[in-house]
Every structure is written in structure tokens, then in C-alpha cells.
Amino acid sequence: MIFRNLNWTKNGLNINGENPNHLRFADDLILFSEDARTLEIMLQQLSDERVKAEKWSRLVTEWYPRDGKRSRGRPNKRWEDDLRKIAGSVWSRLARDRDKWKSLEEAFVDRQAVQQKQPVAE
């Protein structure tokens, strides 16, 4: 989404009339430019655009599916409720550490599997 907002058609390396300006693979990025000054400008534009973009993970975890009115009875469950059960109230800070978050993810999946195996009381 960020790259769609950048106008880099004239930037990059001229190869057979085409101007490739970057390569992306997984979480790696390589920028191409004929000179260092253009590369600096491209880096600054990319940085500026990244700051403008909303992080999808933040949007998803803070998503609140209600449209103003609550139904009667038990309140709806939120994503954050399950996260707090496993990771505690500081789950958003723990999510920044990949190793801790991975172990919490495994604990969450294990917990869900155990709950699904238990017979439903009638």
C-alpha cells in the first residue's frame, strides 16, 4: 500500500528502457538509483509515507465491532479479551518481542486446542 502512493517512475536504474527502482522479498527491501542524492530522496519519501500509513496490526487489535448499541445479556467478546487472558494486561508491550510473542502464540493455540477437546456439557 505504501509503494502505491510513491511516484518513483523516473527513479531507479535504466535497464532496456525500464526503470526498476526497488525489489521486495518478505521483509527485505532494496532500492535502486543512479546517484546517491536520488536514493536519499527515495529513502526520505519512503519514511514519510510509512509514518502516514496506519499499522494493520494496531487497527485489527483495536477494532471494536459494535455500531453504538449493545444487545441485552452478556456483553460481546473482544479480541483483546482473549489476548489479556494469555498474556496479561501488558500484551501489547510483549508483542514487540518476537520470541515472547511466539511463545504466547503457542500457548494460546494449545489452550484453544484443549478447550475444543473437552466435551460440551448438556
pLDDT for residue 107: 73
pLDDT for residue 117: 46
Residue 102 to residues 1, 79, 111: CA-CA distances in angstroms?
Answer: 26, 17, 14
Tell me which of 61 and 37 has the higher pLDDT.
37
State the distance between the two ends of the chain, measured CA to CA, in whole angstroms: 49
> From CA 38, how far away is CA 81, in angstroms rounded?
47
Alpha carbon of residue 81 to chain centroid:
19
Among residues 115, 91, 113, the alpha carbon closest in space to that of 103 is found at 91
What is the longest distance spanned by two Cα atoms in the chain?
72
- State if pTM tops 0.75: no
Question: For 47-96, how does the pLDDT look when each residue is reduced to its tens digit (9 = 90+)?
Answer: 888 877 666 566 656 656 556 666 677 667 777 777 788 788 888 888 88
Question: For 6-30, how does the pLDDT look when each residue is reduced to its tens digit (9 = 90+)?
Answer: 888 888 888 898 888 888 888 888 9
Whether 109 contacts 103, CB under 8 Å: no
